[in-house]
A and B are shown apart, each in its own frame.
Chain A
Amino acid sequence: MKNPYGTQKIAFFFLLLATLLIVVPVGLIVVIIIQKGLPAISWQFLTDIPRQGMRAGGIFPAIIGTLYLVSGAVAFALPIGLLAAIYLSEYSKDTIINRIIRLAIVNLSGVPSVVYGLFGLALFVVFFKFGASILSGALTLGIMILPVIITTSREALESVPQSFREVSLSLGASKWQTIRHIVLPNAIPGILTGTILGLGRAAGETAPILFTVAAFYLPQLPKSVFDQVMALPYHLYVISTQVPNVDEKIRYGTAFVLLAIVLIMNLVAIVIRYKFRKRKKW
């Protein structure tokens, strides 16, 4: 008969191997980008416009473009997402509607990013005639990050103990007063986490902005929400596939800046969540 502990050893070895096969490449990717990208970063690279057909100069317009898009997306998605989360956690009782909403959220988060791009093109660019503009791009990204914001905010709201609500209601506060003054303040760290994760997601996505806003090369800053902008992820795509003979340093530098923005946002979200868990009084 086989020795079960021998089998266990072999099995655990393969499980460890599987884990290493994920973790080591991830580490390598981050290390490579830091190692080759960091030397390219200078004040000039961050604040100059791209020059010589994007083969020299900096990436300032792309950074600014991404900032605009991300803030626009969150300005649109946060109010809607937060109210939707309040509805789901505080108001909805009807299980069928609830289930349909949950399915809709699951589907929204599963729709391929390029399909969001098509949708944004058809609705905002063509139908509403916003053209390829910051407005179209930000709205498209906003709808895309809605599920992230709803799901995390809802979890945060639901984790506020029921007794908090009962005490407030028993003191004569109305339902909305209870939500506004008791539930929301206690859920803010969780909501913040979700918002920041949404920000990170919006900053890194390329496909939704391809046809709704992103400019191939536009070395000036936008003047209104109806202007096109460059955006970091699209810029990285352009200089790594569309423009020949771009200095490797510029490519790695751009990848580094994009990765740094996204990872810092995720890190901030993780830290908030961690601190909140430690401080939680219930």
Chain B
Amino acid sequence: MQKFKELFIEKLILICGVASIFFVGLIFIFLLKEGLAVFKTTGPFDFLLGRKWYPISEPAQLGILPLIMGSLVVTLGAAIISVPIGVGCAIYIAEIAPLKLKEVLKAGIELLAAIPSVVLGFIGMVTLVPLIKSIFKLPTGLTALSGSIMLAFMAMPTIVSIAEDALYSVPKNYKEGALALGATKWQMIWRVMLPAASSGILAAIMLGIGRVIGETMAVMMITGNAAVMPGSILVPVRTLTATIAAEMGEAVVGSEHYFALFAIGIVLFVISFAINVTADLFLHKRE
């Protein structure tokens, strides 16, 4: 009896062990199942490179290029802001901050990571958006720039914590060797630590950017949601994620619009898959 019970439990453990593979597969299959139907009416090229997104006009125009550009502009902006700040902060925490301050700073970063995106979006709406509007004298502060700034804050915790791990795992004797040769602390960081930790830092940046591309609520609340090709960073844009979130509520199940939104989901899934796999490769180069 005891034997039988253990066998059962061990089988259950095995099943749960592979559950994550099962769920990733399930997600992909169901996205494909609902999303691929859009290509019956719109060719893959027209879908990816079409410049017009009018999903409810007759006939529907389902080109997601403006949405891809929207995501790209916002993500690029967020990366430009968050990468130097995030990596700088990681270096500061890993190498310069005294032990007590280090703990406080790490807690602060964890705090930022925990703030729900809808709360960040709300704060962005009431503080950042009016500020951008008045600084640049715009008709609306709901712009790609506002989105970039807010999203930078969502990318930073990821970048800081993974980059800090990477710096932390550089062998101690590298550091000591550099200092013993008479390098200043900064020379040691710049010439020894950063190159040694570079693959981990790269992974940190990629995962941070992955987080930005997938972010939905904050970006929907503060980028203005205009599905047109962005001409500058001071105009409203709409990202891939925000399109799904904003329009799925109205899309009829089984309609072309519904399929198109799932196809956008496939695009997002593939992007995040590529980013995560590559980042994982970089992270394990060290081992």
Contacts and interface: CB of A to CB of B under 8 A. Distances in A.
Please report whether the interface of chain A is mostly helix, strand, loop or mixed according to DSSP: helix
Contacts of B189: 11
B151 interface: no
A91 B17 contact: yes
Interface in B106-132: 107-112, 114-123, 125-127
Contacts, number: 263
Nearest to B113: A266
Interface string A1-39: 000110110011011111101110111011011000000
Please report whether the interface of chain B is mostly helix, strand, loop or mixed according to DSSP: helix
Contacts of B244: 114-115, 117-118
Given A19-B105, A22-B112, A111-B269, A118 B248 contact: yes
B18 interface: yes
Given A19-B88, A206-B216, A30 B20 contact: no
Contact of B153 (A25, A105, A263): A25
Given A23-B108, A26-B108, A207-B245, A110 B184 contact: no
A207 B89 CA distance: 29
Contacts of A5: 184
Given A29-B115, A118-B265, A204-B117, A92 B272 contact: no
Nearest to A88: B17
Chain B, interface residues (CB within 8 Å), range: 35 or more
Contacts of A141: none
A126 B268 contact: no
Contacts of B276: 103, 106-107, 110
A235 B58 CA distance: 33
B221 A240 contact: yes
Contacts of A59: none
Contacts of A83: 12-13, 15-17
B192 to A, nearest CB: 14
B21 interface: yes
B186 A11 contact: yes
Indicate the member of B107, B115, B121 with the most A CB atoms within 10 Å: B115
A154 B9 CA distance: 18
Given A27-B108, A114-B265, A176-B10, 19 more contacts: A11-B186, A18-B84, A33-B123, A83-B12, A105-B20, A106-B277, A106-B279, A110-B276, A112-B213, A112-B216, A115-B244, A119-B26, A119-B30, A119-B31, A122-B34, A207-B217, A259-B115, A263-B111, A266-B111
